[in-house]
Structure 1
Amino acid sequence: MLGASTASAGIGLRVRRWILTMAVGLTAGVVSGCPLELERDVSCGDGWWDPEFEECDPRDTSHLNACRAKGWDKDAVCDPVTCELRATEEDCARCGDGVASHTEECDGQDLRGTTCSAGVGLPTCKSDCTLDHTNCPPVCGDDVVSGVEECEPTASCAVDDDCPLGTVCYQAFGQCVAVGENFAPNLACGAYNNKAIGVDKPYTSGTIDRCTSECFFGRNDCGFCGDGVLDPEYKDLVFPSGELTEFPSEKCDGQQVADQQLLINYCAPLCPSDSPINGDVEVLCDFECNAGCSGFAPPDDIAPGPDAFGCCLAKGSPCPKFDTEGVPDFPCCSWLENPNWLAEEKCVIQQTGAIPVVFVCP
């Protein structure tokens, strides 16, 4: 037992001597002008927040509510290198936290006091914290594309930053246009609807004109040519006034022809005959409508001859099989569409009941 007591006393003595030595050394350091300081790059991140040298410590949680204390629903961040607290408005702002801050136009129900320009209703906030005026009553001339409006004639621009929210600069016009599913880089008419005729019929040709005073793009060059349907006269909006203007009916579209006599006149110089043509004969040929369906496009080359243009005899014309006087040596148009009829050069009796009977093209 005595030996144990002696050993314990020896250890205690050594500990006391060590403590005394450290105290003397620290005191000497202060006296000699070498103050004891903690290096920030050593202490930052050690889990102990030292307010004298650090704004926060990334491993200490006491800084997390710094953003919430200012109204934002987000954890604050402590810089892991400098131990500086990141809790400014820019640091704390988060789209979706319900607080419109920093560069956000809105956030949830927080619209920053924005109302519809008509003074009635409120815009909505999109998921990217930008305002959506789609449901606002449209006010043409307020520089806000809303409701059924497509553009604002007073919203001129050079770059996108010149345009109101929700629009981009269409530099070809120098005007701000709505961006979204109705926006096309070349403003093709096909991306828009006819505002006048009241039917859901898409355009098939043309490009939109400048914004009218009614906040709709002018349909001056838009049309339905190319859909294979003969369209009658219709009204449409035009630039600059936005007034309804009547557009003429189509003369042809695809393989449809409004007036067969126009086609006969078109084919006459392309399908010449060596002798005068019988008055009952109608000669047709291949054709293409022009870009506006207002007539037939001129052929690329008229030199090759009748075969190159598909010259044929219309339904009801005297059948060429019987060498009738004044009937040019062209096949029936129906034969070209029916190879079996062409093989047998099929003809039918004209339904007049007259004697003698006349065979005509089916």
Structure 2
Amino acid sequence: MRRVALISLLLVTSAGLGCLLELTPGVNCGDGFWDAAEECDPGVPASYEDACAEKNRPGGVAKCNPESCQIEASILECARCGDGFVDTEAGEECDGNNFNGQACVAGGQLQCIGCRVDRTACFECGNGARDEGEECDYRESSPGDFKEIKSCNELDSPYSPIVEYGSGTSNKCGTDCRWERSTCSYCGNDQRDDPTPLTFQGGLPSLDEVCDGEEVRVPDLEEYCRLQCNDVDDLALRCSYKCAEDCRTFEPSEDMALGCCRKSGELCPVDGDPFPCCWELDNPEKIGIENACTKDLVEGQPQGNSRCR
């Protein structure tokens, strides 16, 4: 009887003291409730379904780990083929029109199929064979092909067919499967060309030409003739010449006399003046029959402002 009374007293005393205990929130993962200690709960989609959007991958589907209730939203979960992002960690090579900087080496068009790059529409530059659209292949199985010198006259210039190469050779195939053109020249195409890029990639331009075939830059030729003819009167003279092999200068003609003469429009020479009118050199059979000057001669001498025909 005393034991029962003692136990009752102890219970009453303990209750009167009001003892408080701190409780740690429990993790009941998968119970369908998003508890404070959980990042998410598999049974509450709202707790994790926007996690991929926060990583700029709104088309992805995040997961909630059923054991730890931690959100799983790595690129592996969030990447989706077709979202426009190339996620290489997820095995993507491309996505839509995004090829992550890749391109066909020698032309053509990449295609993205299932986020994998399809090169069937590319020119197969570098595969060791000359495919359609290639001038050469820098990995050809027969290196002897490149010992053959390729004439630049057979190659298109960046301005073909308006301006073609006139000289030069190439024996190097570029990584774009086109013959290297830096050794080509427009000199020899019978067109006097200003500095112009030699290659499709730009590169160094060709040098300025003063002549090419019969085409000349007139002020340069007149200056050359003044020097060759020792002219001190700054006349517009004509003389014989040939165009140098590089088209950049004039040279004396080995087959013709210097032939210094006054061009049409220059004052006709009087006795003692150097250089006849060029008309006389061009029409020797008419000398004495026709006048080389625009006005009649008086006692064999040109008058006033008479000029060469």
The equivalent of 1:285 in structure 2 is: 239
The equivalent of 2:146 in structure 1 is: 170
The equivalent of 2:14 in structure 1 is: none
Give the Å deviation of 1:348.
1.8
SS in 1 for 2:279: helix
Q: Could you tell me whether the CA contact under 8 Å between 2:192 and 2:212 is conserved in 1?
A: yes
Is there any run of 5+ residues in structure 2 with no aligned partner, and where? 1-117, 296-302
Give the Å deviation of 1:237.
1.4
SS in 2 for 1:292: coil
SS in 1 for 2:126: coil
User: Given residue 278 of structure 1, which amino acid in structure 2 is its aligned partner?
Assistant: D
Distance between the aligned counterparts of 1:359 and 1:156, measured in 2? 74
TM-score calculated relative to the size of structure 2: 0.50
The equivalent of 2:187 in structure 1 is: 225
The equivalent of 1:91 in structure 2 is: none
Give the Å deviation of 1:285.
0.9
| Alignment match of 2:123 (pick from 128, 138, 161) | 138
SS in 2 for 1:210: coil
Give the Å deviation of 1:317.
1.6
Give the Å deviation of 1:149.
1.7
Give the Å deviation of 1:151.
1.2
Give the Å deviation of 1:235.
1.8
Q: Is 1:346 paired with 2:304?
A: no
User: Given residue 286 of structure 1, which amino acid in structure 2 is its aligned partner?
Assistant: S
Is there any run of 5+ residues in structure 1 with no aligned partner, and where? 1-117, 122-136, 160-168, 173-185, 302-306, 350-355
Superposed CA RMSD in Å reads 3.1
TM-score calculated relative to the size of structure 1: 0.44
Report the structure number with the largest CA radius of gyration.
2
Q: How does 1:88-237 map to 2 (within 5 A)?
A: 119-120=119-120, 137-155=122-140, 157-159=142-144, 169-171=145-147, 186-194=149-157, 196-237=158-199
Q: Could you tell me whether the CA contact under 8 Å between 2:225 and 2:239 is conserved in 1?
A: yes
| Cα offsets for 1:102-161 (capped at 9, x unmatched) | xxxxxxxxxxxxxxxx7527xxxxxxxxxxxxxxx41322222223321122336454xx
Alpha-carbon distance change, 234 to 255 in structure 1, aligned in 2, over 3 angstroms: same
Aligned length: 184
Q: Could you tell me whether the CA contact under 8 Å between 2:146 and 2:171 is conserved in 1?
A: no
Alpha-carbon distance change, 171 to 149 in structure 1, aligned in 2, over 3 angstroms: same
The equivalent of 2:265 in structure 1 is: 316
Alpha-carbon distance change, 190 to 292 in structure 1, aligned in 2, over 3 angstroms: same
